[in-house]
Amino acid sequence: MKAELMRAMMDLQALRQLQPGKTMVSQQSSAFSFTDMLEAALSNQNSEQQQSTVTVPPINATNETHTSPVVHTRSASYSSYSLEIDGYIEELSDKYNVDPKLVHSIIKQESGYKSDSVSGAGAMGLMQLMPATASYLGVKDPFDPGQNIEGGVKYIKQMIEKYDGNTELALAAYNAGPGNVDRYGGIPPFKETQNYVSKVMGNYLA
């Protein structure tokens, strides 16, 4: 575009120089006029090009911020994969002010979330309540998930309070009875009870 403009201006200057009666002064003046015209034309052209320049934002630029939806999922360590059982645990843990994670850990160790589980010693249901303990806690049907969980949560709450919030002693009492914990002044030296406390606490703190 600049070359075409310069060519046209030079043609115009050449035509002016061919006109008769031109003096040195007029030719010099004409040369000045040509220079001024050329600079003005180039200046105008540059100005127009600058005005026509448009800044294009990057393709990915946007005023909106897109974030991935947050999906809340329950850890497999604290789920029975049963909405009914999970619901009872949440409700009754809240009722007795016990950490639901602890209740899940006890049930996982005691019965593996099997509501019809019966141990060799006769403990029954999800939280493996012995018949005398179930009766003491007011549980009429130890195989009913709701009744069994309420009895078990109520019992572990009593043990937590008895041992001033010491979760390990409360678990030892849940497994071996508070009489043995009191007798030995701590976790009884029974391999079964020691393993029980270790596994439940491991799941609870995982």
Q: How far apart are CA 138 and CA 124, in angstroms?
A: 14
CB 110 within 8 A of CB 128: yes
Catalytic hit among 84, 91, 110, 168:
110
How large is the angle between the packed helices 100-110 and 167-176, nearest 10 degrees?
Answer: 30
Nearest by Cα to 150 from 134, 168, 131? 134
Residue 91 annotated as catalytic: no
Phi, psi of 115 (to 5 degrees): -70, -20
DSSP letter for each residue of 75-91: -GGG--S-HHHHHHHHH
**How far is Cα 206 from Cα 201, in angstroms, rounded to an integer?**
8
- Would you please indicate which residues are annotated as catalytic (active-site) residues? 110
